[in-house]
Amino acid sequence: MELKNIRKGFSDEEEVLKGISLSIGKGEFITLLGSSGCGKTTTLRIIAGLEQPDAGQVFLDGRDVTSLNPEDRDINTVFQNYALFPHMNVADNIGYGLKLKKIPKAEIRRKVTEMLELVQLPGYEKRKPSELSGGQKQRVAIARALINNPQVLLLDEPLGALDLQLRRAMQAELKRLQKKLGITFIYITHDQEEAINMSDRIAVMNHGTFEQIGTPDEIYNHPRTSYVATFVGNANILKGKAENTKDGKVTVAIAGGHMAAACEDDSIRAGESVTLAVRSENIRIQEECSCGLQAKVEEKSFAAGQLRVVLRLADGSELVASRYGIDAKVEQGQTVSVCFAPEDAVFVDRSGEEKNEQD
Amino acid sequence: MSRTKIKKHSSSVWMILPLYFFTLVFVAGPLIYMVALSFAQPGSGSAVEWNLTLENYKKILDPVYLQTFRESFQLALTSTVIICILGYPFGYFMAKMSESWKKKAMLLLMLPFWINSLIRLYGWIIILQNRGILNHVLKTLGIIDKPLKLLYSYPAIVVGMVYVLLPFMILSVYSSAEKLDWSLVEAARDLGAGKIKAFWTVSFKLTLPGLLSGVILTFIPSMGLFFIADILGGNKIVLVGSLIQEQMTRGSNWPFAAALAVVLMILTSLMIGLYRKITNVKELEGIG
């Protein structure tokens, strides 16, 4: 499966997809991650054939399918709102694709039963979609798509309407199905946790382009742009100037202080403007370290067992520190010193990406 | 809280009461009177003698009157079929239009309702008559040599029926196609259905309730719209509606008119019942 330089605009001024390319391996679980309006659903619709790109090509198994109708593509979709046919029962819904292929009734019935067992809904053949719960509808929608044994399965935020507990269970189940069947899954979500839990690779989308494509580990631990760092890792973005490099460490001047950051290559020159991403759980407050930054405590709150402290640096930029437990003895209005370990800082928005990011 | 709730509830019953009263007096009352009248005997003039008799119903079995019923049915059926063929695609594609076009189409559809339908039918006389616009156009284009006799014919009545009743079908289909979730059609395409197959298995099935209520809205009136047959058919074809009207005015035979009306009512009810059974509408209506 391959996308080549896909462009799509709905009006003259706005381009939803700005020439994206992506190559997906057989049996891979890939997630398009991004906030709403980033173009991920449009990408999916183009792959499914429900939308035509203005430019670019879609390849499936080495064949150009760009101009093919959705019914002629070996791709099936699980829609966001499930899109189950309300006038058919569960068995007719699931068997719809096979019926179109003129497969004998007895075989359809057998396969539908098989599918219902696979999605753990045995005996639900005669139910109407209106009699199903959200999670059950979801399973039927998945069964209806999978029964056609497509090369690629597209899933458009399939768990978005479910509650947290059910979502966790369904995540595990989807992953299990995908491993068992070996079908390529292209999964859309705005939930970074979901993406990290399930995917082999994640493509982070923003404003119609891919910010970064990589494994969950790469995306989480080595973000390349500040957008990826904040969207996936809830990181703080610090802007500063590189001062000198030594032993794989770069000293950076930030907001009147000096911080060291680890750098794997020697591409950073002294005097260069740099951007650092540091995740909030790696920010340390009021601890013994040689190189602290002065900051004022703006806000302190607890959420989901985590202490969250909002700090204001001397240059006015905001910094968020969070950690489990309630060990930080800081008060609002207090001036504290803040630091982070060199290996917890990541240089982002470098060279190529910088041109896109900078206004 | 609960006190106001009770109060609200009881007051709403009082609000509805006039409606029940109105329905009882102006719908059920006349209906009962009509049925009673159909068993009475005609007196001198328009008077009625209340002697119970089946004479009126026996009279309907006369071949002349049976013929009238058959012709009315045929006309209603023809008109309804044509209305379905024209109205369904119109209503369906109207629902697919953009919001601004929908408004324009709706306005165009409602515009004729501002003029009395009788006057609009006279408009058709101007179009269809021997020296009318249609004949003129056909002649200028060289399609015909002599003007066609279009007015006062069976097709003219059908044209009139279709013209008057078409908007009801369009609106009925439109309202159910509006509610149609287009992602279902996309899902059908995604699962391997071509455009036409997706339409028949999904869109058509889900807009069938609209088509059905359109059929009911057009079939029943087309049995009784006697003035269309009178104006455009020139009294050549007598429909049940015309017959009833004639019996009440010139014939001065109200009991016979009542018997005709009762039979007409029973026949249309049976038709609708049959139609609902065939299309299995209950299952579809259950979707809401």
- Judged by a CB distance cut-off of 8 A, whether residue B202 touches chain A is yes
DSSP state of A269: P
Residue A227, classified by CB atoms within 10 Å of its CB into exposed (0-12), middle (13-18) or buried (19+), is: buried
A34 min Cα distance to partner chain B (Å): 22
What residues of A are in contact with residue B209 (Cβ under 8 Å)?
Answer: none
Please give the pLDDT value at position B286.
Answer: 45
Please give the pLDDT value at position A215.
Answer: 93
**Facing residue for A100 by CB, picked from B181, B183, B192:** B192
- Judged by a CB distance cut-off of 8 A, whether residue A151 touches chain B is no
User: ipTM exceeding 0.90?
Assistant: no
DSSP state of A332: T
State which residues form the domain around B229: 60-287
Could you tell me if residue B277 is inside a domain? yes
Average the pLDDT over A152-172 and give the result.
87
* Interfacial A residues in 33-92 facing B (CB < 8 Å): 48-50, 69-71, 75-77, 79, 81, 83-87
- Give SS3 for A44: helix
Asked whether the beta carbons of A180 and A27 are under 8 A apart, the reply is no
Please give the pLDDT value at position A13.
Answer: 67
Could you tell me if residue B33 is inside a domain? no
The pLDDT tens digits of the residues spanning B224-271 come to 788 888 888 877 778 888 888 888 888 888 899 999 999 988 988 888
- Confidence class for position B103, pLDDT limits 50, 70, 90: very high
Distance between CA atoms of B101 and A57, rounded to whole angstroms?
Answer: 33
Per-residue pLDDT at A358 exceeds 60:
no
B73 min Cα distance to partner chain A (Å): 32
Our count of domains for chain B comes to 1
Please give the pLDDT value at position A120.
Answer: 86
What residue has token string 């602290």?
A: A292
The token pair that represents A176 in the structure block: 């299990």
Please give the pLDDT value at position A357.
Answer: 37
Asked whether the beta carbons of A309 and A300 are under 8 A apart, the reply is yes
Asked whether the beta carbons of B227 and B121 are under 8 A apart, the reply is yes
Please give the pLDDT value at position A288.
Answer: 52
Distance between CA atoms of A121 and A132, rounded to whole angstroms?
Answer: 11
Could you tell me if residue B230 is inside a domain? yes
B188 min Cα distance to partner chain A (Å): 8
Please give the pLDDT value at position A31.
Answer: 93
Could you tell me if residue B48 is inside a domain? no
- Judged by a CB distance cut-off of 8 A, whether residue A326 touches chain B is no
Asked whether the beta carbons of A296 and A218 are under 8 A apart, the reply is no
Could you tell me if residue B198 is inside a domain? yes
- Judged by a CB distance cut-off of 8 A, whether residue A11 touches chain B is no
Average the pLDDT over B163-177 and give the result.
93
Could you tell me if residue B118 is inside a domain? yes
- Judged by a CB distance cut-off of 8 A, whether residue B284 touches chain A is yes
- Give SS3 for A293: strand
Please give the pLDDT value at position B145.
Answer: 82
Could you tell me if residue B95 is inside a domain? yes
Average the pLDDT over A207-226 and give the result.
89
CATH number (domain holding residue B121): 1.10.3720.10
Residues 6+ apart with CB under 8 A from A142: A78, A119, A158, A174, A177
Over the range A189-211, which residues count as b (16 or more CB within 10 Å of their CB) and which as e?
A: bbbbebbbebbbbbbbbbbbbbb
Please give the pLDDT value at position A325.
Answer: 56
The pLDDT tens digits of the residues spanning A6-42 come to 888 776 667 788 888 889 988 899 999 988 878 888 8
Average pLDDT, chain A: 84
Q: How many other CB atoms sit within 10 Å of the CB of residue A297?
A: 21
Per-residue pLDDT at B188 exceeds 90:
yes
Please give the pLDDT value at position A359.
Answer: 31
Could you tell me if residue B43 is inside a domain? no
Please give the pLDDT value at position B140.
Answer: 87
- Confidence class for position B287, pLDDT limits 50, 70, 90: very low
Q: How many other CB atoms sit within 10 Å of the CB of residue A283?
A: 22
Distance between CA atoms of A291 and A256, rounded to whole angstroms?
Answer: 11
Please give the pLDDT value at position A352.
Answer: 45
- Confidence class for position A291, pLDDT limits 50, 70, 90: low
